[in-house]
Amino acid sequence: MTMPFTAPESYVSSVIAAGEPDADSLCFAFQQTLLLVAGEAPGLRLPAHWELANLGRPPLRRLYLGTLGLRACYAFEYGADTEAPPGMLWQGLRALYGRLDDSLFALAGRALQYIDWDRTHQFCGRCGTPMRHREGERARECPACRLIAYPRIAPAVMCLVRRESEILLARSPHFPPACTARSPASSNRASRWSNASRARCWRKPESASPIRAISPASPGRSRIR
Ligand SMILES: [Zn+2]
């Protein structure tokens, strides 16, 4: 099964572009965390490189991502006051899930993290000297103290725990009484939930009320709520 959040099989990461962006290039243009897309029913598409000229200003930064199949991939960042041209819009990635091709959606998440890393590593965190791109790899290096900063692609893990027709959910005490709980371990945020503040309950997927709750202090013993 192909997961939309993993790197596509035909994607090859690289930092050395064979040339300049052309009509076949895939362009991931961001304004802060928003991706520029062109609206066309039933889905959405990325803008062509020539269409980026309609933004009326040059990008703040441009990164080469590698290739998807035979198509070169680039990430761009534009200023916060850059307006989308007619027929396009800035859109958050979460809202694009299912509306953008799965491969492009996966690369968009990676592109956004690379752009954020590049933006936040302009200066050395140790001595304050302007950083420069390290030749041949995706890294920034301080010319003064030689500190090297690599991008950190944040992983996210979601799990589904089933018991016949029930699924295991977790909820925090600050949730409203009727609030639906969430999956018990999604990304590293789960580690912030201490056992004392976390309750786990089994629910039937179609049910709105808890079926059974398991005490965090004694997970092997269950009680009805
Ligand atoms: Zn330094």
Token readout for 123 is 């200066």
Which residue in this structure is represented by tokens 């800035």? 90
Q: Ligand 1 center to residue 112 CA distance, Å?
A: 25
198/204 Cα distance (integer angstroms): 19
Closest by CA to 51, choosing from 82, 33, 29, 18, is 29
Q: Ligand 1 center to residue 146 CA distance, Å?
A: 6
- At residue 133, the 3 state secondary structure works out as strand
148/133 Cα distance (integer angstroms): 10
According to the model, what pLDDT value does residue 68 have? 95
Closest by CA to 152, choosing from 104, 126, 118, is 118
List pLDDT tens digits, range 146-188: 999 999 877 667 778 888 888 887 777 777 766 666 655 544 4
Q: Ligand 1 center to residue 32 CA distance, Å?
A: 26
Q: Ligand 1 center to residue 19 CA distance, Å?
A: 31
Q: Ligand 1 center to residue 129 CA distance, Å?
A: 5
Number of H helices, E strands in the chain: 2, 15
Q: Ligand 1 center to residue 111 CA distance, Å?
A: 26
The one-letter code for the residue type at 44 is L
161/1 Cα distance (integer angstroms): 19
List pLDDT tens digits, range 56-71: 999 999 999 999 999 9
Q: What are phi and psi of 50, to 5 degrees?
A: -65, -25
62/40 Cα distance (integer angstroms): 26
CATH 3.90.79.20 range(s) for the chain read 11-120
Q: What are phi and psi of 73, to 5 degrees?
A: -115, 135
Q: Ligand 1 center to residue 61 CA distance, Å?
A: 22
Q: Ligand 1 center to residue 143 CA distance, Å?
A: 7
163/203 Cα distance (integer angstroms): 10
Q: Ligand 1 center to residue 75 CA distance, Å?
A: 26
Low-confidence stretches of the chain (pLDDT beneath 70): 1-6, 41-42, 155-156, 177-225
Q: Ligand 1 center to residue 149 CA distance, Å?
A: 10
Q: Ligand 1 center to residue 150 CA distance, Å?
A: 14
Instruction: Please state whether beta strands 26-31 and 71-78 pair in parallel, antiparallel, or not at all (unpaired).
Output: parallel
CB 74 within 8 A of CB 26: yes
Decide which of 3.90.79.20, 3.10.580.20, 3.40.50.10860, 3.40.50.970 is the CATH code for 11-120: 3.90.79.20
Q: Ligand 1 center to residue 133 CA distance, Å?
A: 13
CA 115 from chain centre, in angstroms, equals 11
Closest by CA to 48, choosing from 13, 74, 11, 77, is 74
Q: Ligand 1 center to residue 123 CA distance, Å?
A: 8
Q: Ligand 1 center to residue 126 CA distance, Å?
A: 5
Closest by CA to 31, choosing from 64, 77, 75, 63, is 77
Strand partners, 171: 199
